[in-house]
Amino acid sequence: MKIDEEVKGRFRNDYHRGIINLTYTVNQLSYQFLQHLKKHKVTEPQYNVLRVLRGYRSEGPVSIGFLKDRMLDKNSDVSRIVDKLFEKGFVERNENADDRRQKDVEITVAGLAFIEAMFDCEKKTDTLLQNLTLEEVQELNRILDKIRG
């Protein structure tokens, strides 16, 4: 369905339509993904931290700053997110030997098991763009990269 029909709105021009269309689509996709995360009682930022930790676990513990650089939402309070994951037993955090102000964070066996149990969420993300062909997804990625400059 066209964005004009979805939001029953008028647009100043095609650039305005594009921004509204992009925002509306992102919100719709995000909502669908969040419904899957709710089943596992985890927030999107917590899931993001666990995915980063899983991906970099072979490199040893990482810092809060390292995690912040890789967050999808750059405004996330990574220290608080790590605290919540620590309470759930999904991460370990220890004082950095070289800089006591820093914390070293790594995923635990329980955290790995939890994220493996969430594989349905990861598979769901692959289907959110199922209306597009592979070539269209590649073009979408090219355009989005170009927008960000």
pTM assigned to the model: 0.82
Neighbours of 77 (CB within 10 A): 14
Kindly tell me if the per-residue pLDDT of 120 is higher than 80. Answer: no
Q: Which domains does the chain have, with CATH numbers?
A: 41-117 (1.10.10.10)
Report the pLDDT value the prediction gives residue 57, as an integer from 0 to 100.
92
Question: Which residues, 6 or more positions from 56, have their beta carbon under 8 angstroms from its beta carbon?
Answer: 62, 66
Summarised one tens digit per residue, pLDDT across range 34-82 is 888 888 899 999 999 999 999 999 988 999 999 999 998 888 899 999 9
pLDDT-based confidence at residue 125 (cuts at 50, 70, 90): confident
